[in-house]
Amino acid sequence: MPCTEHAASENYADFIAYYYSSREEFMDFYGTRCVDFINDTQAVIYAPLSSVLPLTLSRYTYSAIPKLYSLLDASSMEAAGISEASRLPAFSNEGDGVLIGFVDTGIDYTNPLFQQNGASRIIGIWDQTIGSGSGDGGGNNARRNGVGANGGFQPLYGTMFTRDEISQALQSEDPFSLVPSRDEIGHGTFLSSLAAGSPDEAAGFSGAAPKAYLAMVKLKPAKQYLREFYLIRDGAHAYQENDIMMGISYLYSLSRQYSLPLVLCLCLGTNQGSHEGTSPLCQYLNNVSAYAGTAVITAAGNETGMGHHYRGVMEQPSAPHVVEITVAEQEQGFSMEFWAQDIEIYTIGFISPTGEVIRPLPASTTDDHMVTFLLEKTSIRVYYQIADFSNGSQLIFIRFQEPSPGIWRIVVSASLNLHGTFHLWLPGREFLSEGTFFLRPDPDTTIMEPGNARAPITLTAYNHETGGIYIHASRGYSRSGQIKPELTAPGVNILGASVSGPPFVRMTGTSAAAAHAAGAAASFLSWGVLQGNYPYMNTSVLKTLFIRGAKRNPELPYPNREFGYGTLDLTQSFLQLRRQ
């Protein structure tokens, strides 16, 4: 099988790796040419699945196995100060000349909202679900040392379509015969319309930056072996961390190809990871955020009230701490993660719903523990990682297979007898049955990765009509205490483009808030970079400007875990510059 078929094949496993030598030396070291290079230090290796099973954390590092991400959504422009800003003579660019890129479910490129004067404003689509053979060389073999023969972005899978190909398709009687990329789910189309949809006066609709260019990465579904490893429920939309990272690489390459400032908007999230922003994806976003002419926006997630986070304190270090979980009748299985907040070494045991006791399992760095029960068909696999290499914290990875319904108890013991703190996270609501949750959850520290990454701007959602925070908007701060989210934007009952039925639908969630901010960032980059007012503007600069101009309720302290530093106000952020 040629390398061009490995990346998408269910018979091959994906691993995220770091390299600090030449690409040639890296491939020689691993003995394979089947590698996609994400950037100058990160790569994806494709290996035969039969050679890597069973997939366990005693054989592979935690960060090497791609995490799985889900979608973050279940007269808004005025509330964010975007319409008012567009009426300021010096700030009426509406995102002109800036590229807004999404890594999501695709885009309905035939929608008139993404056209201007009959021409498409979409300059590129990379559809990871379409095999090689069509589009601009996507998935072809024109590769040398992991990149295209012409030095451009050239992945081992999917198909890339150019603006010319999209325009030709739009002029055809059957557009999808030329560019067969569709958004079956509608999430990516909806967000793209919020960020950069053209005005539709009849519907009373306009995107935040209607003159901006757009680009879309349509993610391929997660491979079955990873769904089985993480015990993702059937029917859930799940996407791999390495595919998201490759999508970011494509968007950045496209912005350099066209010499355009880039706003990268990520509206995907996961409860997997340290919640300190230390995953491979978070590290990549931190690097991209620093580039001049680039802004990175992430959504916080919709996990408050779901009961998926637990915070424990060993108030009596010599006594065990009991964590209770209700497991739903229909739950087939799930994974969860335990992260220590300190240098303590923890061990865990279990008490089943029928009362069977499993004593604390020793913390081993070389073996997984498989636990079975006499009276239940449940099996639990436990892996200890004494110190994660990216942040130094202890990780305990737990897999519940065929859990019996009822109340399960995890008995936590401390080895060093310190007054330690620990966190547990269940999967996000997309991956878990509704009736599975902690009995005494902590609503804080529920921002999903990559929303805890240090450099990007993380957006949460509020109701722009009432001023109240969205009831399920994830709360900060990060596990390390970093201020997240930074800002709040409209995200309740928001109007946007549909891919089926009526032309517009309404959606609620922090993804909508992030799309608002992406459009606002495009307007700032157009003014700063393209008009020469702030040529080196990047994510850090934009974050400061947005925070300075944010609206704040005099009755609330700021920053806080719900609103961050306040609600987005593009007009005031711009006017703050005049006062300097």
| 3-state secondary structure (DSSP) of residue 398 | strand
410: part of which helix (H) or strand (E)?
A: strand 406-414
What gap in Å lies between CA 17 and CA 401, rounded to an integer?
29
Q: What angle do CA 568, 443, 273 make, to 5 degrees?
A: 85
Token pair, residue 528, equals: 């700063």
* Catalytic site residue from 132, 274, 390, 511: 511
Token pair, residue 145, equals: 């040392």
Residue 192 and residue 110 in contact, taking contact as beta carbons nearer than 8 Å: no
What gap in Å lies between CA 120 and CA 112, rounded to an integer?
8
* Catalytic site residue from 187, 237, 321, 464: 187
What gap in Å lies between CA 255 and CA 124, rounded to an integer?
10
Closest residue by Cα to residue 305 from 478, 479, 473, 72: 473
- ω into residue 199 within 30 of 0, thus cis? no
393: annotated active-site residue = no
- No. of H helices and E strands in the chain? 13, 31
Residue recorded with tokens 């975007």: 82
442: part of which helix (H) or strand (E)?
A: none
Token pair, residue 190, equals: 């909806």
What gap in Å lies between CA 133 and CA 533, rounded to an integer?
44
Closest residue by Cα to residue 406 from 360, 368, 375, 444: 375
- ω into residue 456 within 30 of 0, thus cis? no
Neighbours of 44 (CB within 10 A): 25
321: annotated active-site residue = no
Across 429-458, b (16+ Cβ under 10 Å) vs e yields: bbbbbeebbbeebbbebbbbbbbbbbbbbb
| 3-state secondary structure (DSSP) of residue 521 | helix
Closest residue by Cα to residue 194 from 407, 448, 524, 498: 498
| DSSP letter for each residue of 538-575 | -HHHHHHHHHHH-B--TTS-SSBTTTBT-B--HHHHHH
β-strand pairing of 369-372 with 379-385: antiparallel
380's CB contacts (< 8 A; 6+ apart) are: 350, 358, 370, 371, 398, 399, 400, 401
426: part of which helix (H) or strand (E)?
A: none
Closest residue by Cα to residue 266 from 236, 296, 242, 237: 296
225: part of which helix (H) or strand (E)?
A: helix 224-230
Residue 457, beta-bridge partner list: 297
* Catalytic site residue from 14, 104, 183, 388: 104
What gap in Å lies between CA 354 and CA 404, rounded to an integer?
9
Closest residue by Cα to residue 565 from 501, 477, 496: 477
Q: Which residues are catalytic?
A: 104, 187, 511
